[in-house]
Structure 1
């Protein structure tokens, strides 16, 4: 039997394929396609198709018995998840499709199907605290202009602001970050034109986060402070999502690759606010979580009784999901 897990976030599209005893992985790092601020599902379906076709080129797969897609923007910025079912069902002979938020696939990837809190941090930030039954606590996920505190775009933006302060001669600037800005973007005016003229400004801002990391590791105090504050912000977001749950925490997303800069302030903040907190290293990635959901969808064990998960099958109309979630939050997982 063949299964496909798809992770759609600010870093692009990543897939995991399992077919009998074989497995494969592929990705496309282009920004998520959008139209009027929402995820463009028709274009996204075409991109998912291309990535999967490239990934399975050397595998003999007739159909996928289960596929799961964890996407940024759900709920809130995904108008009609059934668009993905209609676009992908015939092409891949789908037996079942789960469409869910990438915070759900990150949670499943990190903790399996166990309760707890998982911080998903990449270009943006969204945190989900859930027992996969009655508790569904979302924290942050409001996009780079209104939230996503501590995420890649947040770090990159603050690094660029410090660089521009140095360019102007203002207090609080960083000559090290200005040097990285010039090497990465050219003159500051080129950066301004790129960011303000872009349909994916968060993507460009987040691309500077690794340079802020490099400056921090080289001893730049401004860059180091940015990462420390990012960890604190992520810790506060995690604790906010823990209501009604055992204090078990994990994490996911490429931002945590900078564990040397992020993990200590993140965990210290959580422990300060919630002294009984316990941390579990993630078992896998969001793409791994999507693959686990694809297997569960194929055997009918995915419960679509909450607003973050839509389930489509050959023999039934789509079940589960709603236009806006009930409970604590109706936010959108923007570029996490």
Structure 2
């Protein structure tokens, strides 16, 4: 029996999934972040190495596929490849940006587009020729249009304009200060420019804007529409650059922004249909970590159909794999946040 290790390394956590060649998930480890931009290169390597070693415990796999945040350039991928190769845990190593494994999970390794809109926003695409490209994802200062942060920023600006008399009156004048526990929109503006500013807290305002839009606030509705159009614009750029306008393919929407569905999803759908009429907007079939497993299985020559996909998506298996045992231990200064495992027969057992 051959084994595959899929790794989803992000700015908040690193998820490892160990699977056999039949697609059965045997172990799941969630540990600390492995994005150098978040925790520094040294800590990122430490977290990634320990996550892999904790998952495998000396076992070697046929393929390890890693989707890592921060791997944006060929030299980034090469550096990560060399690091993992020194661990001597796999016969074959695949290193991609985490957006690529998200796409693979969303479409089961088929050509398509994935639009990720959470705190930030980025779009990845893959065409029939195997060509890949991306759009957006340039950070909250220069980009990430359509993200949770962008929606929050637009909402605050709209409220300030209403306060000044430069814009239409809006319920956001009251809702935004309430969210931040501030007395007024002016206090919110001062917080944005202060040293206490937190990106995640700012992005967390997005559902408040969505709620106001649902309640009929025209200003909030326009904020949501503009965000959706920006996400569609980025998706359209990827589609055009990959010459997919006339193709049939799936566009997977992922991230907290799309969980709101409603106005943002309907506007996004209508906009992308103008560019690619035969495309289909979906929610991902599998997680990014599962996407890494799927890429590893494909590299190993396993056909991604039938029993393999059923095993990966099996309710029985996934429930057990998600039954995480909180482990507050530390190994080499790394806290293993969650562990769960299944033996090859499918029986659940704690990893202690």
TM-score in terms of structure 1 length: 0.70
Give the one of 234, 239, 252 matched to 2:236.
Answer: 239
Supply the distance in 2 between the matched residues of 1:160 and 1:31 (Cα, whole angstroms): 32
Distance 1:52 1:172 in 2: 53
CA shift, 1:225, in A, is 2.0
Note the alpha carbon deviations across 1:134-183, whole angstroms, 9 max, x for none: 53343323322222221222112112323444566653453336434433
Asked whether the equivalents of residues 136 and 143 of structure 2 are also in contact (C-alpha less than 8 Å), the reply is yes
Confirm whether residue 174 of structure 1 aligns to residue 170 of structure 2.
Answer: yes
Provide TM-score, normalisation by structure 2. 0.67
Where 2:70 maps in the other structure, the secondary structure is: coil
Q: Is the 8 A contact 2:114 2:254 kept in 1?
A: no
Q: Is the 8 A contact 1:177 1:215 kept in 2?
A: no
Superposition pairs of residues 270-281 of structure 1, within 5 angstroms: 270-281=272-283
CA change 1:185–1:51 in 2 (3 A) is: farther
Corresponding position of 1:118:
114
- Give 1:256's aligned residue: 258
Does residue 1:222 correspond to 2:223, yes or no? no
Distance in 1 (CA, whole Å) between partners of 2:88 and 2:204 is 34
Q: Which residue of 1 aligns with 2:323?
A: none
The one of 31, 34, 55 equivalent to 2:37 is 34
Distance 2:293 2:174 in 1: 42
CA pair 242-62 structure 1, distance change in 2 beyond 3 A: same
Structure 2 residue 290 is the aligned partner of structure 1 residue 288: yes
Distance in 2 between residues matched to 1:74 and 1:185, nearest whole Å: 37
Q: Name the CA distance, whole Å, in 1 between partners of 2:179 and 2:162.
A: 15
| Higher helix fraction (1 or 2) | 2
Question: Residue 8 of structure 2 corresponds to which residue in structure 1?
Answer: 7
* Long gaps (5+) in structure 1: 302-336
Retained in 2: the 8 A contact 1:128–1:137? yes
1:146 pairs with 2:133? no
Q: SS where residue 98 of structure 1 aligns?
A: strand
> Helix, strand or coil: the match of 1:129?
strand
Within 2, Cα distance between the matches of 1:152 and 1:75?
22
In 1, the alpha carbon distance for the partners of 2:34 and 2:58 equals 28
Partner of 1:208: 205
Contact 1:2 1:64 in 2 (8 A): yes
Go from structure 1 to structure 2 and tell me whether the alpha carbon gap of 1:64 and 1:184 turns closer, same or farther (over 3 Å shift): farther
Aligned with 1:93 (options 78, 89, 94): 89
> How far apart are residue 99 of structure 1 and its match?
1.8
**Separation in structure 2 between the aligned mates of residue 160 and residue 6 of structure 1, nearest angstrom:** 37
TM-superposed CA distance for 1:122, in Å, is 2.3
Distance 1:149 1:257 in 2: 17
Q: Deviations over 1:172-218 (max 9, x none)?
A: 453336434433353554664466537x9653432222222233233
Alpha-carbon shift at residue 265 of structure 1 (Å): 0.5
- Pick closer, same or farther for the CA change 1:296–1:61 going to 2, 3 Å: farther
* 1:135 equivalent among 131, 134, 150: 131
